[in-house]
């Protein structure tokens, strides 16, 4: 296990200024709007969809938007980088659809923190809760943004209580809302003693900041109607008494989350949140790996693939592997070692998702995300280094919870279907098992929606109609053991055995009873629900 996150004054400036995070939220809470405002304040104009890939003309963002629409999932802006003051923010997108997917989990392995967006009227919703639990598994620091304060929302104390209770985390108010709904005028910045007033006339305008000398400052009375000032003073006093104060270390350890209130659509509260990410968010953290941990400040470059996106352009069978830089200073054209195959790999065309006028950034530092176009060599979980045989750990592959049999609409196209399925398996979009007995493929996913997404992608990208049918199996477990034990196990259970796309042995069944029986009858065989990607 890694030590808890910490920020260190001794990190090189380029690394210390980086903040790599994802946004987690329930659909409709305002993630997209907040992202747009981040980019607006960060001065970023480019997104992944605009970035030039190998040898191709530049794609426009709208092409990607069309694909996103067709697929119903978020494929484009996988990572966005932008500067804010002296900081470099790397925002990694979590897939937008509501099914929990492995993709989401793995995205969260590539960030050092998460921004949790909640709707001020709805509080903690189901998807927020699920994503939060995933963050908790890694003790990821979480900063909270309570959005839509321009609408009727709940009482501030109620919102905070609900988060504390549902998510079992301490909440400390970084700002305090003044008024609500139509009467919402802005926030009192509790960390900096400032009054931030919202401009309803101009949605893209940054709010005016008025320095205040504590809550007794008569300046408050000049800017706010008397009843609002009275309520603010009373509430903030209560909040300071009842709620914990900001403890930076507790935030870094994931036990405490500061909350900012605002309205993304009105650009309100966003700047304060960004200042919060800069001040309280973690710097690039050490990465767990075998045989040793990787520290961000190491001179040598190391990074790992947390996502692969195939067929970003259906006309070209290229893929982009997204690499989280774990250490060092990467320069374009660098020769790295692909640790799994021990082969050298010259990274000449990294896809970079950079802000402002720089199209092709020529370098990247620990904390950054780069996209590497390739023809399938790079897989999820792969590590790239300058030669050392390091393997990043902690990027799991889950046993799918839903299994179906895939059949080509045209039986003559089965081979094509196999190719397409293998590609998606490598991309991490699904598990594909080839049974030892019988024909066809068994496809496993974690969320039901993924079947639809797969079917439409296979049709769109490969021109292959495909049917998913119920499978006789409902559970899959990876089987591990020494050669002799494994052979005996396979022989005795042939009707239940399949191989995944890496050739590893998988046990398929529809009964938990079977799994228990195997554990009893084959003590040398280990059945697992996750497999570490390697
Ligand atoms: P996502 O599904 O989380 O990405 O949410 P979106 O950013 O697409 O926002 C969902 C809806 O809420 C859209 O109609 C937005 O215009 C709206 N919205 C976002 N932020 C605010 C806000 O601060 N106030 C109000 N009233 N509406 C908002």
For range 229-253, the mean pLDDT: 96
Atom 22 (ligand 1) nearest CA: 148
Residue 7's pLDDT band, with cuts at 50, 70 and 90, is confident
Q: Which burial class, exposed, middle or buried, applies to 158 when counting CB atoms under 10 A from its CB (0-12, 13-18, 19+)?
A: exposed
- Tell me the angle at which helices 449-462 and 414-427 cross, rounded to the nearest 10 degrees: 120
Per the prediction, the chain carries an average pLDDT of 85
Q: Is the CB of 262 under 6 A from ligand 1?
A: no
Q: Is there an atom of ligand 1 within 6 Å of 122 CB?
A: no
C-alpha closest to that of 99 among 446, 452, 424: 446
Pairwise CA distance, residues 220 & 273, whole Å: 22
- SS3 of residue 390 by DSSP: coil
Dihedral class, residue 108 (left if φ above 0, else alpha if ψ from -120 to 50, else beta): alpha
351: phi then psi, degrees, rounded to nearest 5: -90, 125
Query: pLDDT tens digit string along 106-134?
Result: 889 999 999 999 999 999 998 899 889 88
Alpha-carbon Rg for the chain in angstroms: 25
Other beta carbons less than 10 A from residue 204's beta carbon: 11
Q: Is 30 in the pocket of ligand 1 (CB under 6 A)?
A: yes
Task: Report the topology of domain 289-392.
Answer: Rossmann fold (3.40.50)
Q: What span, in angstroms and rounded, lies between the C-alpha atoms of 408 and 429?
A: 18
Beta strands in 43-140 (DSSP E): 79-84, 87-92, 113-119
pTM (two decimals): 0.81
Ligand 1 center from residue 415 Cα (angstroms): 44
**pLDDT for residue 513 is more than 90:** no
State whether residue 107 is helix, strand or coil. Answer: helix
pLDDT, tens only, 329-356: 999 899 999 999 999 999 987 876 654 4
d(CA 30, CA 380): 29
**Dist. CA 117 → ligand 1 center (Å):** 11
Q: What residues form the annotated binding site for GTP?
A: 25-32, 93-97, 147-150
Q: How many whole angstroms from 252 Cα to the centroid of ligand 1?
A: 28
- List residues forming the annotated binding site: 25-32, 93-97, 147-150
Average pLDDT on 147-172 reads: 96
Assign domain 399-532 to its CATH architecture.
2-Layer Sandwich (3.30)
User: Each residue of 347-405: pLDDT tens digit?
Assistant: 987 876 654 433 455 889 999 998 888 887 888 899 999 999 999 998 877 777 789 99
Supply the pLDDT for residue 1.
39
Residues whose CB is less than 8 angstroms from the CB of residue 478 and which lie 6 or more positions away in sequence, other chains included: 399, 500, 504, 505, 506, 507, 527, 528, 529, 530, 531
Token digits for 7? 């920020």
- The yes-or-no verdict on residue 188 having pLDDT over 90 is yes
- How many Å lie between the centroid of ligand 1 and the Cα of residue 263? 9
Q: Give 13-185+245-280's CATH code, choosing from 3.40.50.2300, 3.40.50.300, 3.60.15.10, 3.50.50.60.
A: 3.40.50.300
Q: Which helix (H) or strand (E) holds 258?
A: strand 256-261
- pLDDT for residue 139 is more than 70: yes
Averaged pLDDT, 490-511: 93
Indicate the helix (H) or strand (E) that contains 326: strand 319-327
55: left (phi over 0), alpha (psi -120 to 50) or beta: left
Domain ranges of the chain: 13-185+245-280, 289-392, 399-532
Residue 215, classified by CB atoms within 10 Å of its CB into exposed (0-12), middle (13-18) or buried (19+), is middle
Residue 151 Cβ < 6 Å to ligand 1: yes
Q: Is 150 in the pocket of ligand 1 (CB under 6 A)?
A: yes
Instruction: Calculate the CA dihedral of residues 208, 212, 215, 217 and round it to 10 degrees.
Output: -120
Which of the two residues, 450 and 273, has the higher pLDDT score? 273
DSSP assignment string, 34-70: HHHHHHHHHT----GGGS--TTSPPPPHHHHHHHHHH
What is the rounded distance in angstroms from the CA atom of residue 531 to the CA atom of residue 115?
28
Please write the tens of the pLDDT for every residue from 437-477.
877 899 998 777 778 888 888 898 889 999 999 898 988 99
Task: Compute, in angstroms, the gap from residue 498 CA to the centroid of ligand 1.
Answer: 45
Ligand 1: centre distance to CA 26 (Å): 11
Say yes or no: do domains 13-185+245-280 and 289-392 share a fold: yes
- The interface predicted TM-score (ipTM) is 0.99
Q: What is the pLDDT of residue 316?
A: 57
Q: How confident is the model at residue 199 (pLDDT cuts 50, 70, 90)?
A: confident
Q: Write the pLDDT tens digit of every residue in 23-71.
A: 999 989 999 899 888 888 876 543 333 333 333 333 334 333 443 444 3
**355, 463 contact by CB (below 8 A):** no
Task: State yes or no: cis peptide before 291, omega within 30 of 0.
Answer: yes
Whether residue 506 contacts residue 399, with contact meaning beta carbons closer than 8 Å, is answered with no
Residue in 23, 25, 28 to alter for ligand 1 test, most ligand atoms within 8 A of Cβ? 28
Among protein residues, the one whose CA lies closest to atom 9 of ligand 1: 30
pLDDT category at 533 given cuts 50, 70, 90 is: low
What pLDDT was estimated at residue 71?
Answer: 38
């Amino acid at each position: 296990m890694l030590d808890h996150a910490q920020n260190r004054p001794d990190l090189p400036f380029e690394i210390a200024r980086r903040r790599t995070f994802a946004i987690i939220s329930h659909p409709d809470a305002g993630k997209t709007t907040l992202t747009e405002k981040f980019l607006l304040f960060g001065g970023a104009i480019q997104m992944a969809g605009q970035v030039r890939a190998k040898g191709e003309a530049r794609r426009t963002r709208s092409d990607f938007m069309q694909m996103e629409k067709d697929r119903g999932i978020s494929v484009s802006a996988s990572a966005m980088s932008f500067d804010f003051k002296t900081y470099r923010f790397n925002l990694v997108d979590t897939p937008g659809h509501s099914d929990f997917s492995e993709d989401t989990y793995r995205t969260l392995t590539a960030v050092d923190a998460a921004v949790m967006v909640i709707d001020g009227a709805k509080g903690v919703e189901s998807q927020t809760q699920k994503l939060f639990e995933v963050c908790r598994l890694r003790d990821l620091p979480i900063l909270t943004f309570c959005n839509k304060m321009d609408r009727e929302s709940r009482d501030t104390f109620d919102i905070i209580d609900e988060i504390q209770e549902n998510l079992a985390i301490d909440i400390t108010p970084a700002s305090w809302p003044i008024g609500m709904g139509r009467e919402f005028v802005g926030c009192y910045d509790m960390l900096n003693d400032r009054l931030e007033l919202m401009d309803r006339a101009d949605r893209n305008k940054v709010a005016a900041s008025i320095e205040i000398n504590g809550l007794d400052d008569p300046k408050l009375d000049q800017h706010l109607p008397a009843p609002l000032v009275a309520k603010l003073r009373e509430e903030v006093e209560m909040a300071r008494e009842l709620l914990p104060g900001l403890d930076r270390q507790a935030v870094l350890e994931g036990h405490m989350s500061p909350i900012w209130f605002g309205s993304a659509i009105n650009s309100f509260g966003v700047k304060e949140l960004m200042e919060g990410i800069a001040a309280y968010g973690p710097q690039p953290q050490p990465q767990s790996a075998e045989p040793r941990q990787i520290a961000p400040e190491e001179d040598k470059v190391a990074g790992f693939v947390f996502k692969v996106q195939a067929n970003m352009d259906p006309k070209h069978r290229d893929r982009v592997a997204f690499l989280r830089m774990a250490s060092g200073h990467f320069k374009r054209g660098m020769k790295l070692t692909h640790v799994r195959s021990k082969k050298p790999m010259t990274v000449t065309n990294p896809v970079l998702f950079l802000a402002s006028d720089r199209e092709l950034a020529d370098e990247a530092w620990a904390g950054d995300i780069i996209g590497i176009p390739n023809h399938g060599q790079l897989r999820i979980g792969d590590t790239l280094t300058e030669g050392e045989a390091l393997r990043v750990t902690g990027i799991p592959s889950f046993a799918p919870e839903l299994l179906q049999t895939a059949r080509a609409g045209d039986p003559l196209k089965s081979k094509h279907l196999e190719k397409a399925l293998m590609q998606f398996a490598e991309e991490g979009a699904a598990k594909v098992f080839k049974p030892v007995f019988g024909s066809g493929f068994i496809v496993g996913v974690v969320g039901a929606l993924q079947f639809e997404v797969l079917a439409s992608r296979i049709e769109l990208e490969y021109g292959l109609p495909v049917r998913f049918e119920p499978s006789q199996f409902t559970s899959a477990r990876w089987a591990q053991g020494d050669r002799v034990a494994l052979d005996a196990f396979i022989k005795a259970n042939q009707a239940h055995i399949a191989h995944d796309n890496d050739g590893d042995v998988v046990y398929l069944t529809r009964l938990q009873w079977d799994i228990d029986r195997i554990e009893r009858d084959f003590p040398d065989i280990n059945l697992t629900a996750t497999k570490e990607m390697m």
